[in-house]
Each structure stands twice: as C-alpha cells, then as structure tokens.
Amino acid sequence: MKKILFAASECVPFIKTGGLADVVGALPKSFDKKEWDVRVVMPNYAAIPAKFRNAFHYVTHFYMGTGSYNPGTHVGIMTYEYEGITYYFIDNLDYYGGEKPYADTRTDIEKFSFFSKAVLAILPVVNFQPDLIHCHDWQTGLIPVYLKNEFSSNPFFQNIRTVMTIHNLQFQGVWDIRTMKGITGFPDSLFTPDKLEYNHGANMLKGGLVYADYITTVSETYAQEIQTEYYGEGLDGLLRARHCDMKGIVNGIDNEAYNPQTDKALTAPFTAQNFRTEKVKNKLALQRELGLPVDENKFLIGLVSRLTDQKGLDLISCVMEEMVDEHTQFVIIGTGDERYESMFRYYAQKYPQRVSANICYADKLARKLYASADAFLMPSRFEPCGLTQLIAFRYGTVPIVRETGGLKDTVQPVNEYTGEGNGFSFSNYNAHEMLHVVNYAKHIYFDEKILWNKLIEQGITKDFSWDVSRQKYEELYRWLIEK
C-alpha cells in the first residue's frame, strides 16, 4: 500500500475560493483504494460549514515553536472521513478563526508557514508515515524546506518524497527576510539566492520549488510557458534549471458533480445523444429568467469568471460594442475588480436586450449558463489550466479561448474541411483577433449547423475526468517512491 498525503489551503466540500479546492477535493477520491492510501491535510477554518465541523473528531493537541516570534503555538488535530478519504485538520483559532480562509498577505504568510511545519509535526502523532507529500501552491511551499532541513535528522521523515504543484505562479508568498526568520525559525543559510531569497525578500513558493523532489503544474503548455520571462513571474530561471524534474498534468473535472443528465439545476437534463433537442430548452428558460428576449436563434455567449486582468477582460472591453450585435446575447456571472464589474453593468444597462450582468457568484445560475450557452468565452492573458472550458465541454457548450496554458492543451480549434476540433481559439493577445474568432464562431453557428453540432458532440464525449490525470500522477508517484 502506497501512502500519499495531500497538503493544501482549501478543499471541496469544506472550503473553496477557486479551482485549487476542486482539484484537492476530487483527485484523492479517484485513486484505487486497494493500492493507494491517499489522505488530505488542511487548516481547520472556522468558516468551514457547521455540518462538517460538528462531525470532526478531536485527536489531540500539542505546542510547537515556529521561530522567535512564536516560541510555543497551539497545534490541534481534528480528523474526519468523507467519501472514503481521511482528512486531517490543523486547528489553531488565532490563525484560522476568521470569517474567510485568507486575509492580508502578512497574516497569510504567518499562518501558512505555521501550517507547513504543523503538517509534518502531526504525522508521528497520528501514526501516518506517507511515502510522498503532495504540496499545492505557495501556502504549502515551506513543507519541503522544513522536511529537508529541520526534520531531516529524524528517521521518521528521512524517506518521505515531495511533489510541489504550481496552480498559479502569480501567487508566491513573498515577505521580508527578517520577518520570515522570526516566523519560521530558519537559519541565515536558507535565505540565499539559491534557496529562499528573492528580490531581497523571502519567497515561500520558491522554497518549495528548490527543495521538492519534483515539480508539477496543471497543464503541459503552462509548464513550458513558466520557463519564459513573460510568464515566469521572476522564477523562470529556477524553473528552467529544474525543467528535468518538472511536468505538466492537465486537471480533470468530477464527472458526477458536473453531469447534464443528473444536474438538478437544469430545466431540461440532456445527454450526448439528445442534446440537439433538449439543450435549447435550458437556453429558453435562462433567457426568460434573466429577462432577455426568449429566442432560440440568438447566439448566446457565456462567461463565468473572476473579473480580473488575468482573464482577458480588457480585450472584451475593447470590442464589446461590436460583439453584442442584434444576433447575440452575452451573459456574465462573476465578481472581482470594480472596473470590470462596472463595465459589465454599464453594457447591461445600455443593451438590456443583449447583455445580462450578474455580479455575483451563484453555482446554480452558473450551471444553468453552462447548459444554456452556445459558446463560452475565455480570452485569458494566462491560464494555468482552466476548469471552465472543461465544464463547458461537459454541458455541450463550445469554448472560444486564447491559446495559452491549459486552454491550448484542451481546446482543439475547428477545421472546417476535416470536421476535426471541439472549439475556437486565437493566439495573440489582441482584441480584434478575438473578435474575428467570435465572429467566425457565429458564422459556423448560423450557417454550418451540422458542423456546429459536431463540435458539441466532440466536446461532450471527450473524457476530461480525473481518471486520465490520475494515471499520470500514479506513474509519477510510483517513480518517485521507488527511485
């Protein structure tokens, strides 16, 4: 039995702010329990719903020093089994008692430095000795650092391997060296340019990338992109140096959680066999619900997103007037930067028959949009993996994407002559190039209906489940454990 521990700052169904939680919630469940004992450790946030927290079991608690700032800090251990997976929750009310999982950067750096050390400290206590710890994003970046330094002399920890997964390189956990020394207890020797030092500060993710046995990221293209200066966020040199110990593995989606045949949010459930007659019923119902003209012949574009620069919304802003012509409807769901929220509100007010701006995140409404839209727009500046396009495929909606990261790896542009492809894409970060491709998609939708339905079919039947990705992780785990 091979033993794997996932360490992460969030996990579905307990706490979620983004795609990281979906990955950590779904991937462990996909392993064969006869061969793999996969467990998960995360903070015990007060914001976790009471229906879960009230069912957690107290294991024990102890006190742990993490540096001169915290000579003795409470470490509580709670445990819970959910859908066959054992979860451990690190309990500390000072760090995890807030209404939200994240706070300001300084606070987050301290509480996740503590978390990184506590993850290792609890293992002998709960009598779980993993063969490998899979660390996710900067919040767990110090686990490999502690493992190879402070914990290295303890025989319990000497054969544990680590994998560091980058979900989004933009977030790294950077603060000044003096504070980081006080928080972590690390010696001066770790704060050098070949270790944690970064632009005269200290970088938690960099520590993980230096000390982990292997690095993964969430798509093959993103693994290549982050080795360049444009996408590398200042760490491209380190990532080029470690390119032999790095690979991209595209995320999957939970096919049971996202299933248009069983999704209770939908007006008309449908399958790959009957989408031609049933999918449109969802479109008509959503148009009615949002106060748009009820017309199956409108080209309905959906967008579910954080409203940030990363998502390419400045491109949309440039050409919105041309995009929402009399044949087009545009439905946006999301929250984020005020300027983008205001932009979409403005267009919804100016074109109430064409634009519906839902400045919120509502899962049920999002599911209705996935099932109702004809196309989903994702013009991202960069996109490590992206789950939106995978969910869109599952619900028979055709993605229009920029060729970056996981979008490039999962969306195959249509070829009119061979009938191949499952979506539309453009390569340059350019608003009019995006508009050209949107208009091309409209042409196929209105004038080449057989080809359009073939696009839907090729997307809806392709397997983007975790089974495909899991097999690649299994190969990597086996190789690391046995080498």
Average pLDDT of the segment spanning 310-328: 97
pLDDT tens digits along 46-92: 999 999 999 999 999 999 999 999 899 999 999 999 999 999 999 99
The per-residue pLDDT for 11 is 97
The per-residue pLDDT for 407 is 98
The per-residue pLDDT for 391 is 96
The per-residue pLDDT for 19 is 84
Nearest CA-CA partner of 132 in 143, 142, 122: 143
pLDDT tens digits along 26-49: 999 999 999 999 999 999 999 999
The per-residue pLDDT for 18 is 81
pLDDT tens digits along 322-365: 999 999 999 999 999 999 999 999 999 999 999 999 999 888 99
- Residue 254 reports pLDDT greater than 90: no
pTM: 0.93
pLDDT tens digits along 376-417: 999 999 999 999 999 999 999 999 999 999 999 999 999 999
Fold equal for 2-252+467-482 and 275-463: yes
Is residue 337 left, alpha or beta, with left meaning phi > 0 and alpha meaning psi from -120 to 50? Answer: beta
pLDDT tens digits along 193-224: 999 999 999 999 999 999 999 999 999 999 99
The size of the chain, in residues, is 483
The radius of gyration of the chain from alpha carbons, rounded to an integer in Å, stands at 23
- Residue 277 reports pLDDT greater than 90: yes
Considering the chain, what is the average pLDDT of its residues? Answer: 96
pLDDT band at 483 (very low <50, low <70, confident <90, very high): confident
Architecture category of domain 2-252+467-482 in CATH:
3-Layer(aba) Sandwich (3.40)
Confirm if 166 and 136 have CB atoms less than 8 A apart: no
DSSP tag of 419: -
Average pLDDT of the segment spanning 127-156: 98
Q: Rounded to the nearest 10 degrees, how much is the dihedral formed by the CA atoms of 286, 290, 291, 292?
A: -60
The per-residue pLDDT for 389 is 97
The per-residue pLDDT for 252 is 93
Answer whether the bond into residue 413 is a cis peptide, omega within 30°.
Answer: no
The per-residue pLDDT for 190 is 98
Domain chopping of the chain, boundaries:
2-252+467-482, 275-463
User: Partners of 425 in the beta sheet?
Assistant: 401
Pick the CATH number of 275-463 from 3.30.450.40, 3.40.50.2000, 1.10.10.10, 3.40.50.720: 3.40.50.2000
Cβ neighbours, 10 Å, residue 71 = 11
Which residue has 């107290």 as its token pair?
58
The per-residue pLDDT for 362 is 87
Q: Rounded to the nearest 10 degrees, how much is the dihedral formed by the CA atoms of 331, 451, 254, 22?
A: -40
CA distance 85 to 81: 6
pLDDT tens digits along 83-114: 999 999 999 999 999 999 999 999 999 999 99
CA distance 269 to 14: 28
DSSP tag of 412: P
CA distance 257 to 72: 42
